[in-house]
Amino acid sequence: MSEASTQRSPLLEVNDLHVQFGPRRKPVRAVDGIDIVIYPGESVGLVGESGCGKTTTGRAIMRLLDVNAGRIQFQGKDIAPITGSALKDYRKQVQMVFQDPYGSLNARMPVGRALEEVMQVHRMGTRTERRQRAAQLFESVGLDPAYMDRYPHEFSGGQRQRIGIARALALQPQLIIADEPVSALDVSVQVQILNLLKEVQQQEQLAYLFIAHDLAVVGYICERILVMYQGKIVEAGQPSDLFSNPQHPYTQKLLDAVPDVDQALLRRSGASE
Amino acid sequence: MSASMDNLSSDGRTLWGEAWRRLRRNRLAMICLWIVGFYTVLALYGEGVYRWHQWRDITPSYQRANLDKQYLEPSPLRQPFAAERVDSQTGETVVLSGWSRLRSGMSNLLTHPMGTDGLGRDVFQRLVQGTRIAYQVGIITSLIAIPIGVLLGCLAGYFGGRTDDFIVWLYSTFAAIPGLLFILAIAMVVGQGLLGVYLGIGLTMWVGLCRLIRGEVIKHKDRPYVTAAHALGVGHTRIIFRHILPNVFHVVIVTFTLRFPAAIGTEVFLSFLGIGVQGEPSWGIMISNARLRLWHGVWWEMAFVTAAIFFIVLAFNLLGDALRDALDPRLREGGESS
- Set of chain B residues whose Cβ sits within 8 Å of the Cβ of A151: 12-15
CA angle B326, B335, A108 (to 5 degrees): 65
Confidence grade of residue B78 (pLDDT, cut at 50, 70, 90): confident
A95 with B1: Cβ contact below 8 A: no
Smallest CA-to-CA distance from B287 within B139, B127, B141 is with B127
Interface A–B counts its CB contacts (< 8 A) at 101
- Set of chain B residues whose Cβ sits within 8 Å of the Cβ of A117: 234, 238, 242
**Residue A161 pLDDT more than 80?**
yes
How high is the pLDDT of residue A262? 52
Confidence grade of residue A153 (pLDDT, cut at 50, 70, 90): confident
**Residue B336 pLDDT more than 50?**
no
At a CB cut-off of 8 Å and minimum separation 6, what does A34 contact?
A: A14, A16, A17, A53, A57, A228, A231, A232, A233
Confidence grade of residue A269 (pLDDT, cut at 50, 70, 90): low
Separation in Å, CA A264 to CA A250, A253, B69 = 22, 17, 100
CA–CA separation, B187 and B183 (whole Å): 6
- Per DSSP, A176 falls in state E
**Residue B130 pLDDT more than 90?**
yes
Find the helix or strand (DSSP H, E) in which B203 lies: helix B194-220
CA angle B77, B82, B83 (to 5 degrees): 175
Q: Rounded mean pLDDT of A163-177?
A: 92
Please report, as a single letter, which amino acid is at residue B184: L
**Residue B3 pLDDT more than 70?**
no
Q: How many CB atoms sit inside 10 A of residue B181's CB?
A: 9
- Is there a contact between B13 and A105 (Cβ–Cβ < 8 Å)? no
Least confident of A136-145, B86-95, B214-223: B86-95
Q: Please list, residue by residue across B273-293, b when 16 or more beta carbons sit within 10 angstroms of its beta carbon and e when fewer do.
A: eebbbeebbbbbbbbbbbeeb
- Is there a contact between A60 and A67 (Cβ–Cβ < 8 Å)? yes
Instruction: Burial-class residue B244 by CB neighbours within 10 Å (0-12, 13-18, 19+).
Output: buried
For chain B, list residues whose CB is within 8 angstroms of any CB belonging to chain A.
Answer: 1-2, 4-5, 7-9, 12-15, 223-225, 227-235, 238, 242-243, 246-247, 329, 332, 334, 336-338
The rounded percent of chain B whose pLDDT value lies above 70 is 93
Q: How many CB atoms sit inside 10 A of residue B31's CB?
A: 13
At a CB cut-off of 8 Å and minimum separation 6, what does A230 contact?
A: A32, A52, A53
- Set of chain A residues whose Cβ sits within 8 Å of the Cβ of B2: 142-144
CA–CA separation, B156 and B145 (whole Å): 16
The rounded percent of chain B whose pLDDT value lies above 90 is 45
Report the 3 state secondary structure along B68-133: HHCCCCCHHHHCCCCCEEECCCCCCEEECCHHHHHHHHHHHHHCCCCCECCCCCEHHHHHHHHHHH
CA–CA separation, B179 and A159 (whole Å): 52
**Residue B25 pLDDT more than 80?**
yes
A106 with B246: Cβ contact below 8 A: yes
Confidence grade of residue B40 (pLDDT, cut at 50, 70, 90): very high
Query: From edge to edge, which strands make up the β-sheet containing A94-97?
Result: A94-97, A175-179, A207-212, A43-47, A224-229, A232-237
A150 with B8: Cβ contact below 8 A: yes
- Is there a contact between A236 and A224 (Cβ–Cβ < 8 Å)? yes
Q: What is the dihedral of CA A107, A112, A118, A120, to 10 degrees?
A: -120
- Set of chain B residues whose Cβ sits within 8 Å of the Cβ of A153: 15, 332, 334, 336
Handedness of CA B178, B183, B186, B187 (dihedral sign): negative
Least confident of A108-112, A151-155, A215-219, A255-259: A255-259
What is the DSSP pairing of strand A207-212 with strand A175-179? Answer: parallel
At a CB cut-off of 8 Å and minimum separation 6, what does B181 contact?
A: none
Least confident of B78-92, B187-201, B253-267: B78-92
Q: Report the residue from B9, B247, B336 with minimal CB separation from A108.
A: B247
Q: How many CB atoms sit inside 10 A of residue B68's CB?
A: 9
**Residue A264 pLDDT more than 60?**
no
Confidence grade of residue A260 (pLDDT, cut at 50, 70, 90): low
**CA–centroid distance for B188 within its chain:** 25
CA–CA separation, A18 and A26 (whole Å): 14
Tell me which long-range contacts A133-136 makes (C-beta under 8 A, separation of at least 24).
Answer: A133/A170, A134/A166, A134/A170
E strands, chain A, are 12-21, 28-38, 43-47, 69-74, 77-78, 94-97, 175-179, 207-212, 224-229, 232-237
Find the helix or strand (DSSP H, E) in which B310 lies: helix B300-327
Query: From edge to edge, which strands make up the β-sheet containing A77-78?
Result: A28-38, A12-21, A69-74, A77-78
**Residue A93 pLDDT more than 60?**
yes
Q: How many CB atoms sit inside 10 A of residue B228's CB?
A: 26
Quote the minimal CA–CA distance from A33 to chain B in Å: 23
How many residues comprise chain B?
Answer: 338
Q: Of the ranges A81-90, A227-236, B34-43, B222-231, which is most confident?
A: B34-43
B232 with A107: Cβ contact below 8 A: no
Q: Which position has the higher pLDDT, A241 or B331?
A: A241
Confidence grade of residue A273 (pLDDT, cut at 50, 70, 90): very low
Integer-rounded Cα Rg, in Å, for chain B is: 26
Q: Rounded mean pLDDT of A62-89?
A: 87
B232 with A100: Cβ contact below 8 A: no
Q: Report the residue from B224, B232, B334 with minimal CB separation from A100.
A: B224
Question: Which residue(s) pair with A223 in the sheet?
Answer: none
CA nearest to B1 within chain A: A142
At a CB cut-off of 8 Å and minimum separation 6, what does A82 contact?
A: A63, A90
Smallest CA-to-CA distance from B25 within B325, B335, B316, B330 is with B325
- Is there a contact between B214 and B167 (Cβ–Cβ < 8 Å)? yes
**Residue A19 pLDDT more than 70?**
yes
Q: Which position has the higher pLDDT, A118 or A51?
A: A118
How high is the pLDDT of residue A79? 86
pLDDT tens figures, B270-307: 888 888 888 888 999 999 888 888 888 888 889 999 99
| Complex ipTM value | 0.84
**Residue B42 pLDDT more than 90?**
yes
Q: Rounded mean pLDDT of A174-185?
A: 90
pLDDT tens figures, B180-229: 888 888 888 887 788 888 998 899 899 999 999 999 999 999 899 999 99
The rounded percent of chain A whose pLDDT value lies above 90 is 26
E strands, A22-157, are 28-38, 43-47, 69-74, 77-78, 94-97
CA–CA separation, B255 and B211 (whole Å): 11
